[in-house]
């Protein structure tokens, strides 16, 4: 054979790969099949690299174990997982009931893209009693989409009760469980049909990779999710799947530490004179603490608190005075973060008066005493700004 031909074939050994603790990172769009009959046998073989190779399969299997699922679909982002779950089960003429405290980009998708496709999105107060919510649900409702605790303001829902009543009506339930990460809360065990999370956050854990997942126990829903992934052309890279699986291995250790540190900082904040209230469902006395205590096995490091009333410039002075907290929207990584929530709350149907500016914190892996000292300095700056 000519060099051109031999170079195409050289190095393509069929020798078995060495066994490592992580899966191999296979890079390939073309998948070579064993014979002609396999070319169109999608049930038995992976016929195209976009379907996922070794690292993807290992990640899906591990997430299925974590979630207690029959199958898991992967998406390029958490928002991709949320939109993918809805597109997999909704049709023109359907209605979806959405918690008013849902992740803002999900609301944007519901209000614009779903509306274009002839699907109506109706929003409800997350503290609506489950019986009241289902009583108001029209016959067009196909899905109830929840997020508990709610984005930014951390309202809890009785997810299990909603799921049970919805099942009796033939309505599917879906939950954005990014706060629980499939570890401290397991939606499928509580009757939810579609467990969704932004793996970008706690599973990845290092603020350097995007991905989302949807887990289900019903084989028909798993099939619908997988068909949606194929038909929409979604895929994640093998490197990202490997990194995400690596993050998953240390999720319990990181989340336990960040949950403990978060509670320590939350308790400390509750005693500061510049703080009106702390919104953390794991704190005894919180409005929804009983639901958290019933359903959750732990907490993560994400919560909010309310400053005493003051102008936006004072809030900005507080944030700018922080040195250990980064100012950023994503969370779940090893670093602590802070944002001002009020500008995002304007899109909600239900407006609540929290008694002052709402600040969201993500507590990372730093020493909580150092974080408290940083917050104490910033709170003093805030007090001076409003004096």
Q: Which of 75, 107, 158, 176 is catalytic?
A: 176
Work out the widest C-alpha separation in the chain, in whole angstroms.
85
- Please tell me whether residue 357 adopts helix, strand or coil conformation: coil
Residue 285 DSSP code: T
Residue 176 is among the residues annotated as catalytic for this protein: yes
Q: Which of 60, 75, 100, 103 is catalytic?
A: 103
Residue 295 is among the residues annotated as catalytic for this protein: no
The neighbouring-strand residues paired with 120 are 95
Q: Which of 45, 48, 50, 104 is catalytic?
A: 50
Residue 103 is among the residues annotated as catalytic for this protein: yes
Both tokens assigned to 340: 């001002």
Got the DSSP string for 141-162? EEEEEEESSPTTT-----HHHH
Q: Which of 60, 186, 201, 217 is catalytic?
A: 201
**Do residues 207 and 334 lie in contact, with contact meaning Cβ atoms separated by under 8 Å?**
yes
Cα separation values, 47 from 51, 52, 57, 78, 101, Å: 8, 10, 14, 26, 41
Cα separation values, 274 from 2, 75, 167, 257, 379, Å: 79, 42, 45, 27, 7
Rounded CA-CA distance 237/251 in Å is 21
User: Where in the sequence numbering do the catalytic residues fall?
Assistant: 50, 103, 176, 201
């Amino acid at each position: 054979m000519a060099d051109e031909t031999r170079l195409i074939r050289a190095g393509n050994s069929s020798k078995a790969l060495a066994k490592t603790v992580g899966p191999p990172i296979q890079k390939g769009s073309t998948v070579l099949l064993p014979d002609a009959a396999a070319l169109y046998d999608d049930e038995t073989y992976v016929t195209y690299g976009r379907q996922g190779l070794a690292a993807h399969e290992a990640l899906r299997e591990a997430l299925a174990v974590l979630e207690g699922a029959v199958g898991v679909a992967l998406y390029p982002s958490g928002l991709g997982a949320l939109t993918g779950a809805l597109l997999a089960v909704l049709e023109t003429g359907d209605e979806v009931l959405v918690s008013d405290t849902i992740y803002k980009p999900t609301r944007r998708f519901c209000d614009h893209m779903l509306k274009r496709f002839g699907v109506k999105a109706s929003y409800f107060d997350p503290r609506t009693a489950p019986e009241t919510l289902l009583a108001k649900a029209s016959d067009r409702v196909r899905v109830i989409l929840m997020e508990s605790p709610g984005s930014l303001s951390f309202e809890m829902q009785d997810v299990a009760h909603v799921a049970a009543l919805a099942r009796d009506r033939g309505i599917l339930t879906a939950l954005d469980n990014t706060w629980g990460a499939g570890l401290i809360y397991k939606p499928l065990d509580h009757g939810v049909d579609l467990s969704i999370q932004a793996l970008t956050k706690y599973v990845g854990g290092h603020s350097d990779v995007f991905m989302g997942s949807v887990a289900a126990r019903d084989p028909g829903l798993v099939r619908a999710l997988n068909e949606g992934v194929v038909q929409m052309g979604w895929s994640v890279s093998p490197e990202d799947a490997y990194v995400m699986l690596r993050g998953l291995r240390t999720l319990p250790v990181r989340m336990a530490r960040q949950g403990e540190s978060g509670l320590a900082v939350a308790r400390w904040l509750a005693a500061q004179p510049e703080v009106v209230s702390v919104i953390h469902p794991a704190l005894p006395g919180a409005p929804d603490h009983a639901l958290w205590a019933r359903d959750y096995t732990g907490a993560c490091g994400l919560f909010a608190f309310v400053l005493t009333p003051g102008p936006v410039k004072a809030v900005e002075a507080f944030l700018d005075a922080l040195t250990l907290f980064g100012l950023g929207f994503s969370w779940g990584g090893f670093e602590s973060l802070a944002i001002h929530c009020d500008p995002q709350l304007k899109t909600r149907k239900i407006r609540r008066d929290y008694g002052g500016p709402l600040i969201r914190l993500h507590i990372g892996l730093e020493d909580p005493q150092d974080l408290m000292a940083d917050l104490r300095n910033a709170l003093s700056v805030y007090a001076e700004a409003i004096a």
